[in-house]
Every structure is written in structure tokens, then in C-alpha cells.
Structure 1
Amino acid sequence: MFKIAVMGDYDSIYGFSALGLTIFPVKDGETEKAARTLRTLADGEYGIIYMTEKLAASLGKEIDRYKERILPAIILIPGVSGNTGSGVRAVRKSVEQAVGSDILFG
């Protein structure tokens, strides 16, 4: 069975541990550490990785490595600094690829 991980700044993700998810806090500027953590999780037993939009912005090329793979599913979530909209754009793009058109705006 696959596990679920949450990556991002501590203030944004600590509440997920109460839901039984494994959290992986990353401080600003720790991009290389975050990239190593993502690779470890993706190559391990994690099937879903939630990641704050802010962290994902700094890991674009690393995240791209997993876009064509079935697992892990990397899902962007807003952090305490707010919603940038990149998570919604990523979901919209995935749906558009799956069904062939944008279901919200036809």
C-alpha cells in the first residue's frame, strides 16, 4: 500500500500530520534538500505527494521528471502565504490532457 506525503514550509503542512499523513518540512532556500526529498519519496513507497505551490515553484524541473509517470501523483496545495493559482492550473491541464478539452471553459 502506498503512503501519502506532504512537503512544504512547516507552518503550511504541520496540520496534515493530525490526519495521519507524513510531513516533510522544507525551509525557504533549501531547494536542493527539497529535490532530494522529492526523489526519495517518489522512488520509495509514496503514491501521493502533496506540495505547497511555493515549494513547487522552486522545484519545477524536478517535478517535471514525474509528470509522465503514473506514480507518484504530485498535487499542489496552497500554503499559508496564499493561493497562487498554480495548483488549479495544474489540475485543469491534467483534465484537459485526459479528456481532450477544458471542461470548465469548453
Structure 2
Amino acid sequence: MGFKIAVIGDLETITGFNLAGVQFAHVHTDKEKTLSRLEEFLSNEEIGLILITHRVAEEISPEFRRKIQEKGLLPLVLKIPDRSGYVPESDELQELVRKTVGVEIKLKTEAQ
């Protein structure tokens, strides 16, 4: 049995993932509903990866950070850009790679 993916984000992001076959998805419209759904995803043993857009993660912080710190190794939670490509100045994944490997990874954007 393989793990499944869950996604939390805006309507367009969720629609794209649904079209790709993701079964567990939540469109963020309300902070409390999103936190409740995140809790469901975190406790679902079928889910191995939760993707959440940066904007939604920022909107539901600090509760988001607290829930992520309380969880075990799985499911893995990753923040992703939304349909507009929004990524904050300080991306946690890039910072983790920099601290672990000692190398900063720069992503090439269309503007470069």
C-alpha cells in the first residue's frame, strides 16, 4: 500500500491537483475550517504527504506551525507556490537545505 497525497490551497491549485488524481483536497476559505481539515489530514494514516500553499500556511499561522511541530515523521508537510507562483522571501525548504548541506539553492524564475 502506497501513501496518498493531500493538498490545501486556493481553488485553482486544488482543481489542478484533483485533475492529476489527488483525492484528499481542501479549498481554503476559512481559517478554522482549514485548520480542522489539516488536523484530519495529519491523523489520516493513508496520507504520506500534505502539500499546502505558502499563502494558506501564512494565513493560518501560528496554529499551522504548532500542528506541524506536534506531528510525527509522517505525513510530510511541504509548502508549495500557489497559482500565482507566490513564494515568500524566506523559504523554509531552501533554508533547511542550506543548513543541512551548506549550499544555497537558487531557483531560476522567468524574470531572470
User: Per the shorter chain, which TM-score range?
Assistant: 0.7 to 0.9
Shift of 1:36: 0.6
Secondary structure of the 2:85 match is coil
Secondary structure of the 1:84 match is coil
Question: Would you tell me which structure has more helix in proportion to its own residues?
Answer: 1
Q: How many residues align?
A: 101
1:76 — aligned with what? 79
Tell me the distance in 1 between the aligned counterparts of 2:11 and 2:75.
Answer: 22
Whichever residue aligns with residue 11 of structure 1, its letter is E
1:32 — aligned with what? 32
Secondary structure of the 2:48 match is strand
| Structure 1 segment 9-88 matched on structure 2, within 5 A | 9-22=10-23, 23-27=25-29, 30-45=30-45, 46-64=47-65, 65-67=67-69, 69-80=72-83, 82-86=84-88
Q: Tell me how large the CA RMSD over aligned residues is.
A: 2.4
Q: Name the % identity.
A: 27
Q: Which runs of 5+ in 1 are unaligned?
A: none
1:9/1:19 Cα in 2 relative to 1: closer, same or farther (>3 Å)? same
1:87/1:74 Cα in 2 relative to 1: closer, same or farther (>3 Å)? farther
Between Structure 1 and Structure 2, whose CA radius of gyration is higher? 2
Runs of 4+ in 1 over 4 A off after TM superposition: none
2:109 — aligned with what? none
Whichever residue aligns with residue 75 of structure 1, its letter is L
